Amino acid sequence: MSVKLNTRQVGDVTVIDVSGRITLGEGSSALRDALRELVAKGNKKILLNLGDVSYIDSSGIGELVSGFTTVANQGGTLKLLSLTKRVKDLLQITKLYTVFDVHEDEAHAIRSFA
């Protein structure tokens, strides 16, 4: 299953629900395009819901990092929501878990942008 992205607005926070695989090729480029489009439109509070992401490779990790820096460079914030155990493990062994602001609960994550 390739990646699927659904974008919704919760107050002034843009939530991207991601499902499937974020791997080199279609998966990582779709995420990159979505984040760049949101930033270009002026969205500065972005919450990436990875709860239904079954697989992520180093290219996918690279897109998360690029998204994080792209949003930050525009004065915005990108946070992560609902990591699966495997994605959490991956971010921990690459020492990125502490770089991202990671949340388990969506309402709590939304409030944290205030």
Q: Are 48 and 14 in contact (CB under 8 A)?
A: no
| 93 is an interface residue for another protein by CB under 8 A | yes
Of 109, 16, 14, 28, which Cα lies nearest the Cα of 65? 28
For residue 101, list its beta bridge partners.
Answer: none
Q: Which of 29, 77, 96, 113 binds another protein (CB under 8 A)?
A: 96
Q: Which of 1, 4, 12, 25 binds another protein (CB under 8 A)?
A: 25
31-70 footprint of another protein as x/- string (CB under 8 A): --------------------------xxx-xxx-xx-xx-
Q: Kindly list the residues in this chain that would bind another protein in the complex (CB under 8 A).
A: 23-25, 57-59, 61-63, 65-66, 68-69, 86, 90, 93-96, 99
